[in-house]
Copies of this chain bind each other. A is one copy, B any other.
């Protein structure tokens, strides 16, 4: 708990009850939750919590580089409390997101391009997890 407090301060975010709870959830649930999932998870223990607060807080986290916003899913944004460099896999079937460790590609990825200032680099894989691939193949068989 004290660690979350410290983590927020290190990122120039004043630790409030809500901010601590949301960051605590993000860092202890590596499932890349959506704002809605975070709200539903925390609401029972913080009954005064507002969904707007969750959205506002996540925006602050991202602006202060305390969390990542993943735009891999076109339906909704997902958030990641782990800001270290890694890739993500998004299952087009069930929507789950997995962390994918990645080799050092600093020699391949650019940090500056012409007149463009890079602040974030994302590597996303999309496809199907085992379960969803099987279901997909089963459905295709049924059609044929």
Contacts and interface: CB of A to CB of B under 8 A. Distances in A.
Which 10 residue pairs spanning A and B have beta carbons closest together?
A115-B130, A120-B126, A118-B127, A119-B127, A122-B124, A117-B127, A71-B74, A118-B125, A105-B108, A117-B128
Contacts of A125: 110, 113, 116, 118, 120-122
A42 to B, nearest CB: 22
A76 B134 CA distance: 30
Nearest to A125: B118
Interface of A: 69, 71-74, 77, 89, 91-92, 98, 100, 102-103, 105, 108-110, 113, 115-130, 133
B89 A118 contact: yes
Given A103-B108, A110-B125, A123-B122, A98 B71 contact: no
A95 B117 CA distance: 14
B126 A113 contact: no
B119 A92 contact: yes
A119 B108 contact: no
Nearest to A130: B115
Contacts of A126: 118-122
12 contacts: A69-B74, A71-B74, A74-B77, A89-B118, A98-B113, A105-B105, A117-B129, A119-B128, A120-B125, A121-B124, A122-B125, A122-B126
